[in-house]
Amino acid sequence: MTAAFKAFRIRSEGEGVVAGFEQLQLADLSPGNVVVRVLFSTINYKDALAATGAGKVLRRFPLVGGIDFAGVVETSTDPRFSTGDRVLVTGNGLSETHDGGYAEYARVPGDWVFPIPPGLDELEAMALGTAGFTAALAIHRMEENGQKPIAGPIAVTGATGGVGSIAIDMLAARGYEVVAVSGKSGAAEYLKTLGATRILSRKQIKSTGRPLEAVQFAGAIDNVGGDLLAWLTRTVGFWGNIASIGLAGGAQLETTVMPFILRGVNLLGINSTSVPRALRTTIWERIATDLRPRHLERLVTRTLDFADLPGAFKGYLDGAITGRTVVRISSGRDAAGSADAGHDSGDLGGGSGASAASPDAPAGPSGDLDATGE
Ligand SMILES: NC(=O)c1ccc[n+]([C@@H]2O[C@H](COP(=O)([O-])OP(=O)(O)OC[C@H]3O[C@@H](n4cnc5c(N)ncnc54)[C@H](OP(=O)(O)O)[C@@H]3O)[C@@H](O)[C@H]2O)c1
């Protein structure tokens, strides 16, 4: 393949970054033995940090952005993959140390590449993407550590975000009672549709200053960090698991050892980037089976064309986005060049996909976060 292709590339400039579309050749990409024609990528909070420079995500420059992608193998010298295979990649070094998914072609080591599990297509694989993988990894680790629906409700913070929305859907499908903790006042209908039984307003959560408070939850999935995570350590009950995923509200954690030594609470760190291949395989198998979300069509609130990507990051930094954004990178042509409408229609669940559930639509929740998240 010698033709130039379109890529969204992030460059270092002064103290910050500049990012935009460039024409690249395959030789410009980070090395790897599998070349994938990218059909879909997504926007995650981390992508917004990387593309705007609001967070230090890239560890070398320049790099193509995009921490995940799904597409079709174009060429492979890895014997596990053949031309035409439908594959996905999330995490690893994408958009940190290696060119990512915001390009019509990606080149990666075969160890990072996974066949899209049976029952999912490229669009669904990216409707889930890093967010779905992370939510599933959190639930998997909590259950390995003894979490069961019968123990009681699970709190999910950053509830309307990508990870939060998918976690609610997966937990509810597994029979957990889910309490969604959100900063968006108009999000109740959306969150209940996904399976939350109760909604708590993040802004009404007040700290008592005590090291332990009355037990409210049997476990938690936290996407926010800071004071909210500290509050969860004080309100999760005996032997409960708290999966710490994100820092949308802050990276600090001020708590005491009391929840751990008096209630046996477990704080589980979730890292979706550096995951052994065997565990990744298990997680994707679970995502396609017992953890498969029931409301993917509702979760995907936007499907963007590649050209619209640059304007889409700010909403993430403002905490104003609900659900998942899928980015249609290129049309679904198989490696032989024939159109494959079944895999590029941008159509989830019988055509109700993005536009039907746009965040601008009247039914969507409103974004009303304050700057501190409290
Ligand atoms: N550990 C890992 O491997 C891993 C993997 C994926 C993501 N993450 C992290 O997990 C978090 C969620 O990722 P995502 O892709 O789901 O992001 P997202 O779609 O942008 O969702 C983040 C959600 O957090 C809440 N939020 C935003 N700003 C906030 C603030 N200032 N204070 C408190 N809450 C705020 C909002 O939900 P409400 O309005 O409903 O409260 C928002 O929708 C991010 O911090 C991300 O970096 C970590």
The string of pLDDT tens digits covering residues 156-211 is: 999 999 999 999 999 999 999 999 999 999 999 999 999 999 999 998 898 788 99
* 222 CA from centroid of ligand 1 (Å): 9
Average pLDDT, the chain: 89
- Burial letters for 233-259: b for 16+ Cβ neighbours within 10 Å, e otherwise? bbbbbeebbbbbbbbbbbeeeebeeeb
* 200 CA from centroid of ligand 1 (Å): 16
Cβ atoms 331, 27 nearer than 8 A: no
Which among 224, 302, 325 is the best mutation to test ligand 1's pocket, defined by most ligand atoms within 8 Å of the CB? 224
Q: How far is CA 374 from the centre of its chain?
A: 23
Which among 42, 94, 134, 163 is the best mutation to test ligand 1's pocket, defined by most ligand atoms within 8 Å of the CB? 163
pLDDT in tens, 10-19: 999 998 999 9
* 311 CA from centroid of ligand 1 (Å): 19
Pocket of ligand 1, beta carbon within 6 A:
44-46, 130-131, 134, 158-164, 182-184, 202, 223-224, 245-249, 270-273, 316, 319, 321, 369, 373
306 burial type by CB count under 10 A (0-12 exposed, 13-18 middle, 19+ buried): buried
What pLDDT, on the 0 to 100 scale, is given for residue 170?
98
- Pairwise CA distance, residues 331 & 344, whole Å: 6
Give the dihedral sign, CA 354/356/361/365: negative
Give the helix ranges, DSSP H, for the chain. Answer: 45-52, 122-144, 162-173, 188-194, 226-235, 258-262, 277-288, 296-299, 314-317
What pLDDT, on the 0 to 100 scale, is given for residue 232?
97
- Pairwise CA distance, residues 176 & 150, whole Å: 8
Q: Angle 122-144/277-288 helices, nearest 10 degrees?
A: 110
Ligand 1 closest atom vs CA 272: 3
The residue behind tokens 């460039």 is 22
What pLDDT, on the 0 to 100 scale, is given for residue 356?
30
Ligand 1 closest atom vs CA 367: 39
Q: What is the DSSP letter of 22?
A: E
pTM: 0.91
- Pairwise CA distance, residues 278 & 291, whole Å: 17
What pLDDT, on the 0 to 100 scale, is given for residue 360?
29
pLDDT in tens, 243-302: 999 999 999 999 999 999 999 999 999 999 999 999 999 999 999 999 999 999 999 999
As a whole number, mean pLDDT of residues 226-245 equals 97
* 45 CA from centroid of ligand 1 (Å): 6
Q: Angle 162-173/122-144 helices, nearest 10 degrees?
A: 70
As a whole number, mean pLDDT of residues 108-113 equals 97
- Pairwise CA distance, residues 324 & 301, whole Å: 6
* 161 CA from centroid of ligand 1 (Å): 6
pLDDT in tens, 48-60: 999 999 999 999 9
* 303 CA from centroid of ligand 1 (Å): 19
The residue behind tokens 């939510």 is 135
259 preceded by a cis bond (ω within 30 of 0): no
Please state, for a pLDDT cut of 90, what percent of the chain lies above it: 85
Ligand 1 closest atom vs CA 160: 40
Q: Is the pLDDT of residue 334 over 90?
A: no
- Pairwise CA distance, residues 132 & 284, whole Å: 9
Q: Cβ atoms within 10 A of the Cβ of 359, count?
A: 20
Which region among 111-125, 161-175, 207-221, 330-344 has the lowest average model confidence (pLDDT)?
330-344
Q: Which residues are CB-neighbours of 354 under 8 A, at least 6 positions away?
A: 300, 301, 302, 303, 304, 326, 346, 348
Q: Which residues are CB-neighbours of 161 under 8 A, at least 6 positions away?
A: 45, 131, 223, 246, 248, 321, 322
What pLDDT, on the 0 to 100 scale, is given for residue 206?
84
Give the dihedral sign, CA 334/338/340/344: positive
As a whole number, mean pLDDT of residues 73-88 equals 98
Structure tokens at 91: 């995490």
Q: Give ∠ CA 360-362-365 in degrees, rounded to 5.
A: 75
Does an H or E element contain 182, and which?
Answer: strand 178-182
Q: Is the pLDDT of residue 318 over 60?
A: yes
Cβ atoms 287, 136 nearer than 8 A: yes
